Every structure is written in structure tokens, then in C-alpha cells.
Amino acid sequence: MRGGDFLEGSGHVKFLKSFILSICIVLLTACNVTPPQDAPTPTSSTTVISSAVPMLTVQFIDVGQGDSILITLPNQQHMLVDAGDLGSEHILVPFIEKQGVKKIDYVIATHPHADHIGGMEQIIKHFEIGKVYMPKATATSKTYEAVLQAIKAKGLTIAQAKAGVSVIDEQALQATFLAPIGAQYEGLNDYSAVLKLRYQDNDILLMGDAEKTSEQQILASGAYVHADLIKIGHHGSHSSSSPAFMKAVDPKYAVISSGKSNRYGHPHKPTLDLLTKSGIAIFRSDVDGTITATCDGKNIVVRGEK
């Protein structure tokens, strides 16, 4: 295991047991019934409560050179940020179905490059979809047109992803866009919807392919950028992850999604050097496969499948 410090292997089983146990205790207390002799006795109520906390799970799915992040919220709703490259639907649809997901409550396309929206047409067609968020960026590719058509055909509308827009705003859980801030950029990457997830004390920052221009604007906006885990911008390219931005984020973990031997040479050495020098634990999809971060609101455990 790399980087983890709580929640060993059987977390789900433990959680289920504790949850059932807490229900039993509540029911027995409410009915004033003495538990039967063979009923398990909790060591302390604190233990039962702390292990029964709902989890936020973020899975960085190995789609090769591209991004796709499946998030299971503490209330068991689901969010998908990006859908890999063309053909990624053959990985994504079975992966998501295998987890028993029928509805994706929130779909976010960070920006209209094919390595982020390639599998999205089929995702939209295949699953029940709640809300769809995209930045206001124009693209003329057939891939993008197909996604727009699939959205329209389902009677869905697109909400604009931009700085300040709140996707979820609950007491314990917030999902807010920190970017894009500007209306016009030179390249599509800087239009990326940058999402900040906050679950109690846990912060996760998903950068899409945002580059240094967007990073500077985010810093200048005064947004709270610190995160325990960051999905590094633009597959670890030197176009992103400026030292000033990374210093402000000050993460413990960095996730890089990049394909094995990709033609761009991602992740680039300066990015890896900066992360290593800063003592940040690096997880890479080309090395670690699908990467899973599990958060209980206080601690985060990150694991690669390989």
C-alpha cells in the first residue's frame, strides 16, 4: 500500500458491520429491549460512530492517455468528471456498471478535447443522467457535436461550468468550480472546469487540463485552493503545475493521468521533479492503473490497483 494511513483492506465490510450494529443498538435502545446473549457488544459507542461514517470515494480510472474520474458521494450519488478518449466507453461503461451505478447524478466535461469527452456520447446514452456541466468553450469536432446531440436527444440541458458555480452545497459536502474564470483563452485547455471537492476536512482539487494562465487566475481570485489531493493539470505536462500554484495547493498526494509511452511524453520531468522535491506522493495511471482515493472526512487513503 502506498501513502495510506487508515482504513485497511476490509473497510467496506467493517463499515457495513458497524452500520448494522449501530442500527441494532438504536432499535434496541428505543424499544428498551435487552440484547440477546449472542449479540455482539460494541467496545465503545465512539468506535461504532467513527467507523460508520459515509465515505467519499474518488476513482481515477485508467483510460490510457485521457481523464475519467468517477466519484461516489457520501450519499451514494455519483459524479463523472470526463469520459476518456474515443473508445474509452468500452472501459468506462462496464467499469461503472460493475459498481451497480444506474444513474450518474452529475456529469462534468472539463473541456471539449477528445481525450476528455471521447467516451461521453455513449455514457450519456447508456446511463440515466442528472445534471450536465460544461464550460462555455467552442469546438467544432465531430466528437463534441456527438456529445451535444446525445445530451439534446435525452432532453437534458447543459449548465455552465465556471468559477463560483456550486454543483453541491451541503453542510458536509461542497463541490464548486474554481475555473474557468475568464471568457476567452488562447487554448482550449485553459477553459477547463476546475472542480474543488470538500468533504468535511478533506479537500480534493481536479484540474482538468488547466494550464498556468488559469492557475494564475485562480490564485488571483483568492479562492481556497489548498487540497489534500490534486489531480494534476494536463496529464503532468510542463504547461501546468507552476511552482507558485503547487505551493498554494500544498497537497499530500498528486494523481497524474497519462497513458503508457504516450506521444506527448507526459508526465514531463519538470512536473515530476517539482512534486518529488516538495515531498508529494505521486500516483500515475500509467504505472499504478486505476487509482482510488477514499475519504472519511478526516483522512484520505490513496491506492493504485497495481
Residue range at the interface with Zn ion (CB under 5 A); choices 45-53, 109-117, 223-231, 281-289: 109-117
E strand residue ranges, the chain: 56-60, 69-72, 78-81, 103-108, 128-134, 158-160, 166-169, 173-179, 194-199, 202-206, 229-231, 253-256, 281-284, 291-295, 300-304
CA distances from 189 to 110, 178, 288 (A): 9, 15, 25
CB of 76 to Zn ion, least distance (A): 29
Using CA atoms, how far apart are residues 70 and 207, in angstroms rounded to an integer? 15
Q: In the stretch 229-268, what mask flags binding to Zn ion with x, by CB under 5 A? A: ----------------------------------------
DSSP structure class, residue 189: G
CB of 206 to Zn ion, least distance (A): 12
Smaller CB separation from Zn ion, 105 or 115: 115
Smaller CB separation from Zn ion, 115 or 215: 115
When binding is defined by CB under 5 A, the residue of 85, 105, 203, 209 that contacts Zn ion is 209
Asked if 62 interacts with Zn ion (CB under 5 A), we say: no
CB of 192 to Zn ion, least distance (A): 9
User: Phi and psi of 42, rounded to 5°?
Assistant: -65, 145
3-class DSSP assignment, residue 60: strand
Smaller CB separation from Zn ion, 72 or 290: 290
Angle at 253 between CA 305 and CA 70, to 5 degrees: 55
Residue range at the interface with Zn ion (CB under 5 A); choices 89-97, 203-211, 263-271, 290-298: 203-211
Using CA atoms, how far apart are residues 265 and 234, in angstroms rounded to an integer? 12
CB of 227 to Zn ion, least distance (A): 20
Residue range at the interface with Zn ion (CB under 5 A); choices 6-14, 124-132, 209-217, 279-287: 209-217
Asked if 286 interacts with Zn ion (CB under 5 A), we say: no
* Count of Cβ atoms closer than 10 Å to residue 59 Cβ: 20
Q: In the stretch 67-106, what mask flags binding to Zn ion with x, by CB under 5 A? A: ----------------------------------------
Do residues 162 and 152 lie in contact, with contact meaning Cβ atoms separated by under 8 Å?
no
CB of 111 to Zn ion, least distance (A): 8
Size of the site for Zn ion (CB under 5 A): 2
Residue range at the interface with Zn ion (CB under 5 A); choices 179-187, 192-200, 207-215, 288-296: 207-215
Q: Residue 174: beta bridge partners?
A: 169, 198
CB of 172 to Zn ion, least distance (A): 31
Asked if 115 interacts with Zn ion (CB under 5 A), we say: yes
Helix/strand/coil (H/E/C) assignment for every residue in 233-248: HHHHCCCCCCHHHHHH
Do residues 215 and 165 lie in contact, with contact meaning Cβ atoms separated by under 8 Å?
no
Smaller CB separation from Zn ion, 21 or 69: 69
Cell of 166: 456550486
CA distances from 85 to 29, 82, 102, 119, 185 (A): 53, 9, 22, 6, 23
Smaller CB separation from Zn ion, 78 or 111: 111
Smaller CB separation from Zn ion, 190 or 209: 209
Binding site for Zn ion (CB under 5 A): 115, 209
